[in-house]
A and B are shown apart, each in its own frame.
Chain A
Amino acid sequence: MLSKIMGVFARPDFPLLLREHVVLSAVALLIAVAVALPVALLVRNTPLGATIAINVGNIGRAVPSLAILALALPFLGIGFASALVALTALAIPPILINASIGLREVRQDIIDAARGMGLSGGQILTRIQLPIAAPVIFAGIRTSAVQTVASATLATFIGAGGLGDLIVEGLQRRGPRYCSQGPSPSRSLRSSRSSASAGSRGPSPRRGCRSRRREEVVN
């Protein structure tokens, strides 16, 4: 069994599929960060805006991955573009939710003290709000990364390749061989991605933050 599973790595098309998978997930994640973070920053000082952002994020999370793929298909046709749009749409909500909540949860008295000492709005953001919210924001990005790599297997259904091809191939042959070979590289890719982004969470939680409540809404 194990040797059969290992056999998949030796397939000639494996490097290509792996690359498609990584590129698709990475680009989707980057775009999601580039969209979600600015939105979270924009709404950070308006409670109503933050609430709306969080709720939009929650609704986004409730939409199934396949449904988003199906929705993108009529507009962008078969291939990479559709898959990218769908994956990006899936990747945004966890980042948006965590970033909005992380920034919102920075205590008002801390911001008040900063303002009272003469920090400008930008300085309050970069020196106070972002560092305090960083662990929650990075947790959101990590969740999003894990989910994107998992959902990228579905890209095969709209012809965007990736490791999902292996899974589908296995299913079609009604044999367990590829069926189990497909998911396993995708699974290990996922976990390596997760630990990689966990390692780069920016400032590691420092001693002073230890007792603070760190809300990780999606994880």
Chain B
Amino acid sequence: MIEFRHVSKTYAGSDRPVVNDLSFEVLDGEICVLVGPSGCGKTTSMRMVNRLIEITEGEILIDGEPNTSMSGTQLRRKIGYAIQQIGLFPHRTIADNIGTVPNLLGWEKGRIRERVNDLLDLVGLSPDEYRDRYPAELSGGQQQRVGVARALAADPPIMLMDEPFGAVDPITRERLQDEFLHIQEDIKKTIVFVTHDIDEAIKMGDKIAILKQGGVLAQYDTPQTILSRPNSEFVSSFVGGDRLLKRLSLTRVSELDLGPANGGTDGLPRISDGLTVRDALSELMGSGQSKAVVEKDGEKKLLTFQDIEALTSSGAMGGGKRSA
């Protein structure tokens, strides 16, 4: 668990704090997304966790211990960090890059080798093909995967990820996000994740911390709550006018309580139950029909506009995207 306790940061030579009295907790196994406009102090907040930046006031506890209880380098070897610019070492192979921290920790060669192969598999790069390449021989998206694998290498319980999917096109980003959420189901890391993209925050976060200018915490909550009950003008405008639709994207069709499809379903559009309700709504509207057939466990169910409307008016939306 990571606890921010009244954390402030004022850079030397400035009289205004860039992070102001920040307090929140990141529970074990959860992804906490820091999101906010440019310059609001996201990177600064994240880098105070592993003490790349020293705190001016307040403290950060990791599993109940202040993060100042050990040396900075020791602390950083226990916390995986994927920096915004990836920063792979150009003179080292992919395998050596990923093996950096295990190497520092004195793992034996065979163990490092095995770990590197496992991680390359995990991030979807074939070890045989990529182990011995150099970073310049990889595409941007592949480099980003290696960056994430490198941060995971010594199996640290805590990960800091600064816009880890920032340098790729939207389609690749979506795929990397999906893959990472899938990996997280297994590895259950405690993650601080920085982005300036609210859609990414909603997708990735168990909790979202929205920061505003001057490093003030505007709201800290689950994505569902932030979308349904933004606590200020700033948050609702940051979340955007389409927050109702964004809420729909938090729920999958398979999570809806649908009525059975009796009788004539011929001519009705078919919708996969793996889609988000938002995508299902789009398909439904595109089909020109008022209902569609969803097949679930071999059973045929009927999806109507009413089902979707009921979802937006009830408070109980977006049960758990992780369980989807």
* Alpha-carbon distance between A42 and B93 when the two chains are bound, in angstroms: 29
The range of chain A's interface size is: 20 to 34
Give how many A-B residue pairs fall within 8 Å (CB-CB).
79
Q: Does A112 contact B (CB under 8 A)?
A: yes
Which chain B residues in 33-88 approach chain A with CB under 8 Å? 50, 52, 73-78, 81, 83-88
Cβ contact of A117, chosen from B90, B92, B101, cutoff 8 A: B101
Smallest CB–CB gap between B282 and chain A, Å? 39
* Alpha-carbon distance between A210 and B75 when the two chains are bound, in angstroms: 35
Q: Does B91 contact A (CB under 8 A)?
A: yes
Complex interface: chain B residues within 8 A of A207 (CB): 134, 137
Considering the complex, give the chain B residue whose CB is closest to the CB of A128: B89
Which chain A residues in 100-144 approach chain B with CB under 8 Å? 107, 109-110, 112-120, 123, 128, 131-132
Check A132–B90 contact: CB distance below 8 A. Answer: yes
Check A113–B88 contact: CB distance below 8 A. Answer: yes
Q: Does A211 contact B (CB under 8 A)?
A: yes
Complex interface: chain B residues within 8 A of A128 (CB): 89
Check A209–B73 contact: CB distance below 8 A. Answer: no
Cβ contact of B134, chosen from A110, A113, A114, A208, cutoff 8 A: A208
Q: Does B316 contact A (CB under 8 A)?
A: no
Cβ contact of A208, chosen from B52, B77, B136, B150, cutoff 8 A: B136
Main secondary structure of the interface of A (DSSP, over half): helix
Q: Does A206 contact B (CB under 8 A)?
A: yes
Task: Pull 25 A–B residue pairs with CB atoms less than 8 Å apart, ordered by A.
Answer: A109-B85, A110-B90, A112-B52, A113-B85, A113-B89, A114-B100, A115-B52, A116-B76, A116-B83, A116-B160, A117-B76, A118-B75, A118-B76, A119-B100, A119-B104, A132-B89, A132-B90, A132-B91, A203-B91, A206-B91, A209-B90, A209-B136, A210-B136, A211-B136, A212-B136
**Interface on B for A, CB 8 Å cutoff?**
50, 52, 73-78, 81, 83-93, 100-101, 104, 133-137, 150, 160
